[in-house]
């Protein structure tokens, strides 16, 4: 009995702390009140990449639909289920979980809370759960476009990719696409591919490792660095900016807007349009037409910004043709692997 009482007190305190931390003054159980909560993968919501892109979509929904939104930052993977439950137990209508690592916890929560709609960002749905929509992207295509750009910019014919853990399939898809896109331009191009060894715990939160890995590749002669790994990747971008005449390519969002420290090298970013994808799914839930299964979001390269005048029209035209061919499946993964 005392053990049950202890856990009840702990849960009550956790919920109270959650409400205090979020500044929550809205009763999400009230009729007519619509609430959306976002649970990050390990790392901060302002990671200038993956988590932040999803949160921007939630905030857009809050502004345009006049609904209540909050987030919880996950500090340790063992807290996934607890963090999701904090929203579900407080009557939230939609819960957005960010990242492949939350996939199992999202499905388990969806089964426990059938009246809550769940949006799993980067969570492929092998089987349909009625109240879960997996927001997925063609990362291989996005990486391919980045690789094609790098292949047309390199002079050394040596490129490098700085990545988060290879336990996350989308990260591997980015890396494979980058290599395939570069070799599509020139088969003699070599690519150094390095994944963070720390798994889910530190794979996306280690900018020092990202910087050291980029530096090592640059010292070997790489002149274009592609970074796909949250704060880990950001470290690679910022390190590359310390060298004259090199290019770097960001990921997930237009990192020109989020990593100004890399402006001197940041020619573009390989974007998964997470923000509009999250917004669209929240809007569908708000309108009562929430889908289930997989919801495919768009991908593409970010603008060249300050590098635009340096990009020959030939490069722009070829990238446009490659994008069209990818979207029409005239270029496919099976052509390379």
Is 9 a residue whose pLDDT tops 50? Answer: no
Instruction: Give the rounded percent of residues in the chain with a pLDDT score beyond 90.
Output: 88
CA 137 from chain centre, in angstroms, equals: 10
Question: What is the model's pLDDT at position 13?
Answer: 44
Looking up tokens 């007519």 gives: 32
The pLDDT tens digits of the residues spanning 298-318 come to 999 999 999 999 999 999 999
- CATH architecture of the domain covering 32-137+275-296: 3-Layer(aba) Sandwich (3.40)
The Cα 327–Cα 254 span in angstroms is: 20
Neighbours of 321 (CB within 10 A): 13
The Cα 291–Cα 286 span in angstroms is: 12
| Residue 331 DSSP class | S
Question: What is the model's pLDDT at position 20?
Answer: 43
Domains 32-137+275-296 and 139-271+304-335 are alike in CATH topology: yes
The pLDDT tens digits of the residues spanning 79-122 come to 999 999 999 999 999 999 999 999 999 999 999 999 999 999 99
Please say whether the beta carbons of 54 and 41 come within 8 A: no
Question: What is the model's pLDDT at position 22?
Answer: 46
DSSP string, 33-70: --EEEEEEEES-TTSSSHHHHHHHHHHHHHHHHT-EEE
| Residue 132 DSSP class | E
Helix (H) or strand (E) holding 162: strand 158-163
CA 235 from chain centre, in angstroms, equals: 16
Domains in the chain: boundaries: 32-137+275-296, 139-271+304-335
Classified by CATH at the fold level, domain 139-271+304-335 comes out as: Rossmann fold (3.40.50)
Q: What is the number of alpha carbons within 13 Å of residue 264 lying toward its C-beta?
A: 10
| 45 vs 9 pLDDT, higher one | 45
The pLDDT tens digits of the residues spanning 178-236 come to 999 999 999 999 999 999 999 988 999 999 999 999 999 999 999 999 999 999 999 99
The Cα 237–Cα 138 span in angstroms is: 23
The pLDDT tens digits of the residues spanning 139-163 come to 999 999 999 999 999 999 999 999 9
- Binning pLDDT at 50, 70 and 90, where does residue 16 land? very low
- Binning pLDDT at 50, 70 and 90, where does residue 21 land? very low
| Residue 260 DSSP class | G
Residues 60-84: what's their mean pLDDT?
96
């Amino acid at each position: 009995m005392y053990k049950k009482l202890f856990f009840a007190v702990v849960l009550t305190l956790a919920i109270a702390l959650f409400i205090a931390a979020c500044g929550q003054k809205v009763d999400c159980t009230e009729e007519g009140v619509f609430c959306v909560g976002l649970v990050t993968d390990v790392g901060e919501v302002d990671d200038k990449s993956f988590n932040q892109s999803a949160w921007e979509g939630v905030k857009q929904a809050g502004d345009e639909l006049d609904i209540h939104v909050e987030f919880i930052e996950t500090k340790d993977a063992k807290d996934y289920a607890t963090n999701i439950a904090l929203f579900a137990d407080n009557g939230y209508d939609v819960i957005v979980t960010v990242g492949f690592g939350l996939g199992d916890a999202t499905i388990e929560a969806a089964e426990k809370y059938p009246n809550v709609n769940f949006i799993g960002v980067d969570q492929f749905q092998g089987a349909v759960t009625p109240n879960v929509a997996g927001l997925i992207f063609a990362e291989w295509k996005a990486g391919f476009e980045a690789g094609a750009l790098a292949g047309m910019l390199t002079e050394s014919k040596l490129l490098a990719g700085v990545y988060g853990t290879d336990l996350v399939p989308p990260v591997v898809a980015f890396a494979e696409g980058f290599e395939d896109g570069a070799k599509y331009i020139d088969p003699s191009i070599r690519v150094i591919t390095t994944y963070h060894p720390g798994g889910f715990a530190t794979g996306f939160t280690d900018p020092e490792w990202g910087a050291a890995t980029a530096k090592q590749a640059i010292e070997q002669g790489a002149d274009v660095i592609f970074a796909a790994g949250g704060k880990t990747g950001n470290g690679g971008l910022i390190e590359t900016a310390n060298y004259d005449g090199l290019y770097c390519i960001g990921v997930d969002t237009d990192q020109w807007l989020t990593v100004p420290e890399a402006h001197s090298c940041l020619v573009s970013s390989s974007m998964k349009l997470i923000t509009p994808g999250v917004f669209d799914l929240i809007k569908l839930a708000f309108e009562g037409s929430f889908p289930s299964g997989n919801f495919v979001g768009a991908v593409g390269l970010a603008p060249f910004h300050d590098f635009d005048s340096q990009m020959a029209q030939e490069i722009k035209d070829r990238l446009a043709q490659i994008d069209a061919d990818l979207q029409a499946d005239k270029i496919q993964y099976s052509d390379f692997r």
